[in-house]
Each structure stands twice: as structure tokens, then as C-alpha cells.
């Protein structure tokens, strides 16, 4: 799986949050050229227009592909006027000598007793052979309404049950558990055990397991609520992947910024490796700054095992201060830097960040994005309010939300190579000119009047 490359090609949202319909196609998929170069998707638009919906959809995708339980309140993501949402994804997959396009479709529904459920899942694929893409073939078409066969196509179901008669029971158990626990049926651990023992299902099993590996090790979702902990000086979540560290491969490492933390020796060694890796890049982004660990010595942990008492510090020449006293912008850069390094170097890594620009100096943000775009290998999806990236990225890398919920995401049309996209964006807000309106116009007089009325209410109290 380490040699496998998985990349997103298309994301479609239907009746999800405030998006009735919205599709984002990656530049390589538009050109039918699944390459290994960096791809950046920057999403822009006014507040409440569907930017964070994309981030939340990717968060659900990660939960589905890893077989994790969705919180019950995820049902609130379903459009209020609908009983279900659909999330559809297209991936390119390079597996040894084979190339595939993989299609994964999810339907989330509210039950009669107002619970959440994976109602439908469909996994299918196309194989590239003899210079062309073959017809789409089904792998698993799951529907909670299916009974005897549990899933379709019937021939694939028979492959599993014929090779192991117990699989009929095992898949039935998987169905019940996925419904009870609000997890994916296709990517649940129970289904995984059923398919791994069937040699005739191997090609499909490889596709499923590689998608699961991708979501576990190479897909990083950084939602805004995670970043809020930075602003409150509570934690410093670090996304990491240390390939030569066998016991811990990837995840989120949270270290307290308010007080020293007690960690075991394994985490202490891992953190040292992460900071060594980060500092190589950090000192080029913020000259003179390094991050280190102050070791306060050995200390027993709550379970009685021996740990190390540590504190994160920043170093500027000879001045050492606790990291908690650094600016939010620096803490934001530190929190995402490990993952940006992965995006730059690994074509299979996809990083999804809500409000990438929060706290980061706009010129520096533009420079980082341009470097990754020109020389990197992975994929980066971000939302932003800062318009600097509009001057640094290619038109195909930029998506704008519209005021039309039936067509939420759009690229600008008729953009010439010498156009300044930032100026064009302002112009489109003021005078239009695109297929869809991108800004719901506000009335300055009404805003001013509202401030006055609100002020009178305060005076009355």
C-alpha cells in the first residue's frame, strides 16, 4: 500500500447543509490526466455560502472510509427541507501496474425516530486498459432495504458467500452493526474480515483496503473547531507521519500550551523527530524561529508508568519563551506545517483546511501556496477569506461559491491569462458578469440603520 497512489478527482454534494447541489472537479480530472503533481483547490465566497460544507463533507468521507462512527448530530448536516443527503466522490488509484477510477457514493438519511443512518453506499470502478477507460463495474451496492443478498451485484455477493458459507452470517452481522453504530457497511471492520478471506474477490478487496489506508494515513481534515483550540491556548495539534517510526505512523498529537505535559518516552522521541523536521522549513518561513522541547525531567504518569515532563518553547537566537506566548498566526503555522511538508512530498496526501488564512500574514500565505503549487506533489483543499491566493494560483485551482444553492460551486468563466483574478473577483461582486451571482448584495443604508436601532435598544436598557 505504500507504493499505491490515491487522489481525489471530484466531490459532489446534494442536499447537504445549505448546498442543494454543488460539484467540484479537480483540474487533472477536467483534463483526464491523473498526474502526480500538486493540486490546490481554494474555495472562496461570502459567509454562509457553502465553504465549510465542503470541509464537513470531507470529514464525513474520512469517517466512512475508516469505518468510524458518525456522531448523531451529523444528521443536522442534512438540508432541512430534505430527509437525506448524498455525497459522491471520484478517486484515481494507481495500484502496482493497474490504474483505476473509483466511484464512492453515500446517502445519509434521517430515520422516522430522527436518527442518522447510512442508507445507501455504492462503490464501483473503471479500469484503464489498452489506452482507454473500460466501462464502469460495480463492486458493492449496499442499501438498507436489501435483505437476502445484503448487497449487489448478486455475482459479487455470491463470490463471498460461496467461498465461505459463514460469510452470509458475517455480512448480515456487519449490516446490523453498521446500522447500530452509524458506520459505513463497505468499510467496516466486519466487512473487511469477510472480504479478505476470498481470493476471487482480491481485486475488489485491494481497492477497498487502499481507500481505507488512504483515509487513515494520507487524508488530513483540519476543521475550524480544531483550530479554535489554538486561539484559546489550550493545545497545539500537530499532524504527523514519521515513516521510520514503526509504532506510530500518523495522527494528531496534542500538547498543552498552558502547562507542561507529561508524556511517555515514545511520544517524547516522536515529538523530537517532528520538531526536527518542522524546523528545517520553519526557519525559512519565519527567519530566526525554531521550536524545541524543554525537558523538565522524569515524572510518573497517572497509571504509574514513567514519563517525561515537557514544555514546548520557541527559540529566537538566545531568547527562549514558552510557545503559548507566541502569536496565533505562528501557532497556526506550526499546527499545520508537518502536514504541509507531507503535501509537498507525497502525491497521495490530501490536506483539507478550513480557514487556512486565519492568523497568517497574507503575503506569506501566498508564497507558501505558490511554492506547493509549482513544486509539490500532493493535494490541498482550503477555504479562505484572504484574497492574496487569487493572485498566486491558476484559475482552475480557484472555486467560488454562488448565491444559487442548486449550483453552489463555480469557476470563473472567460478569464484571460493577463487578468488579475483578485480584481476580477471584486468586479464580479460589484457588476456581475459570471454565469451565477457570487455575492448576495447588501444595503449599506439598511446596515447603518440596523446599527442605530440596535444602539437605541442598548440605551433603553
Could you report the per-residue pLDDT of 324-360, keeping only the tens digit for each?
888 878 888 888 888 888 888 899 999 999 888 777 7
In the chain, the number of structural domains is 3
Q: Are residue 325 and residue 357 in the same domain, yes or no?
A: no
Per-chain mean pLDDT for the chain: 83
pLDDT at 315 over 90: yes
Nearest 5°: the CA angle 437, 433, 440 is 25
Note whether 20 and 117 are same-domain residues. Answer: yes
Domain check: are 356 and 329 in the same one?
Answer: no
Predicted pLDDT at 228: 42
In a domain, 450, yes or no: no
Nearest to 137 by CA among 158, 122, 151: 122
pLDDT band at 48 (very low <50, low <70, confident <90, very high): confident
141 and 204, same structural domain?
A: yes
Owning domain of residue 275: 229-345
Same domain, 397 and 420: yes
Is residue 178 over pLDDT 70?
yes
| Residue 271 cell numbers, joined | 515529538
C-alpha Rg value of the chain to the nearest Å: 24
Question: Of 2-16, 35-49, 285-299, which range is least confident?
Answer: 35-49
pLDDT at 238: 47
Does a structural domain hold residue 390? yes
Please return the burial class of 430, using the count of CB atoms within 10 Å of its CB with bins 0-12, 13-18 and 19+: exposed
* Same domain (yes/no): 289, 355: no
Q: Of 176, 198, 219, which one is at a domain's C-terminal end?
A: 219
Residues 328 and 415 in one domain: no
Query: How is residue 291 annotated by DSSP?
Result: E
Tell me: do 83 and 146 sit in the same domain: yes
Numbers of helices and strands, H then E, in the chain: 12, 20
Tell whether 268 and 404 lie within a shared domain.
Answer: no
pLDDT in tens, 398-423: 888 888 889 888 887 665 554 555 55
Shared domain check, 412 and 293: no
Same structural domain, 212 and 146: yes
In the prediction, which pLDDT does 140 show?
96
Give 140-155 pLDDT, tens digit per residue. 999 998 877 899 999 9
Q: How confident is the model at residue 425 (pLDDT cuts 50, 70, 90)?
A: low
pLDDT digits (tens, 9 = 90+) for 226-267: 444 444 444 444 455 555 444 444 555 667 767 888 888 888
Q: What is the pLDDT of residue 256?
A: 74
Task: Point out the domain boundary residue: 219, 252, 279.
Answer: 219
Q: Is residue 430 domain-resident?
A: yes
Domain identity same for 94 and 195: yes
Cell triple for 54: 465542503
pLDDT of residue 13: 96
Task: Return the higher-pLDDT residue of 166 and 436.
Answer: 166
- 451 occurs within a structural domain: no
pLDDT in tens, 109-129: 988 788 889 999 999 999 998
**Dihedrals φ, ψ of 361, to 5°?**
-55, 130
The 10 Å CB-count burial string (b at 16+, else e) for 215-237 is: bbbbbbbbbeebbebbeebebbb
Amino acid at each position: 500500500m505504500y507504493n499505491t497512489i490515491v487522489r481525489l478527482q471530484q466531490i459532489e454534494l446534494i442536499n447537504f447543509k445549505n448546498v442543494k447541489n454543488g460539484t467540484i472537479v479537480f483540474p487533472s480530472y477536467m483534463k483526464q490526466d491523473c498526474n502526480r503533481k500538486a493540486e490546490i483547490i481554494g474555495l472562496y465566497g461570502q459567509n454562509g455560502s457553502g465553504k465549510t460544507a465542503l470541509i464537513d463533507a470531507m470529514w464525513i468521507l474520512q469517517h466512512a472510509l475508516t469505518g468510524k462512527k458518525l456522531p448523531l448530530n451529523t444528521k443536522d448536516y442534512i438540508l432541512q427541507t430534505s430527509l437525506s443527503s448524498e455525497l459522491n466522490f471520484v478517486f484515481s488509484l494507481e495500484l502496482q501496474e493497474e490504474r483505476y477510477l473509483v466511484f464512492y457514493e453515500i446517502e445519509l438519511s434521517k430515520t422516522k425516530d430522527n436518527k442518522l443512518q447510512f442508507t445507501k453506499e455504492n462503490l464501483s470502478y473503471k479500469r484503464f486498459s489498452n489506452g482507454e477507460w473500460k466501462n464502469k463495474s460495480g463492486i458493492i451496492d449496499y442499501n438498507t432495504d436489501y435483505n437476502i443478498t445484503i448487497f449487489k451485484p448478486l455475482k459479487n455477493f455470491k463470490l463471498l458467500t460461496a467461498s465461505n458459507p459463514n460469510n452470509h452470517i458475517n455480512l448480515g452481522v456487519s449490516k446490523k452493526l453498521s446500522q447500530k453504530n452509524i458506520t459505513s457497511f463497505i468499510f467496516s471492520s466486519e466487512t473487511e474480515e469477510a472480504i479478505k478471506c476470498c481470493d476471487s474477490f482480491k481485486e475488489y478487496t485491494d481497492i477497498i483496503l487502499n481507500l481505507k489506508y488512504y483515509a487513515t494515513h494520507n487524508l488530513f481534515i483540519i476543521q475550524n473547531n480544531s483550530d479554535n483550540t489554538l486561539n484559546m491556548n489550550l493545545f497545539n495539534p500537530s499532524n504527523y507521519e514519521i515513516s521510520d517510526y514503526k509504532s506510530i505512523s500518523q495522527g494528531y498529537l496534542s500538547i498543552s500550551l498552558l502547562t507542561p505535559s507529561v508524556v511517555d518516552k515514545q511520544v517524547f522521541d516522536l515529538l523530537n523527530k517532528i520538531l526536527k523536521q518542522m524546523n528545517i522549513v520553519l526557519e525559512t518561513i519565519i527567519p530566526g524561529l525554531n521550536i524545541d522541547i524543554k525537558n523538565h525531567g522524569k515524572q510518573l504518569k497517572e497509571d504509574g508508568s514513567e514519563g517525561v515532563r515537557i514544555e514546548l518553547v520557541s527559540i529566537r537566537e538566545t531568547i527562549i519563551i514558552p510557545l503559548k506566548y507566541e502569536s496565533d498566526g505562528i501557532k497556526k503555522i506550526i499546527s499545520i506545517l508537518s502536514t504541509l511538508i507531507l503535501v509537498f512530498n507525497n502525491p497521495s496526501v490530501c490536506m483539507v483546511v478550513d480557514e487556512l488564512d486565519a492568523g497568517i500574514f497574507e503575503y506569506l500565505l501566498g508564497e507558501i501556496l505558490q511554492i506547493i503549487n509549482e513544486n509539490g506533489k500532493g493535494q490541498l483543499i482550503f477555504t479562505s477569506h484572504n484574497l492574496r491566493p487569487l493572485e498566486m494560483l491558476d484559475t482552475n485551482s480557484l472555486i467560488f461559491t454562488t448565491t444559487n444553492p442548486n449550483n453552489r460551486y463555480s469557476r470563473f468563466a472567460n478569464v484571460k491569462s493577463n487578468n488579475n483574478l483578485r480584481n476580477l473577483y471584486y468586479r464580479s461582486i460589484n457588476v456581475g458578469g459570471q454565469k451565477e451571482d457570487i455575492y448576495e448584495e447588501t444595503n449599506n443604508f439598511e446596515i447603518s440603520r440596523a446599527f442605530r436601532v440596535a444602539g437605541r435598544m442598548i440605551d433603553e436598557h
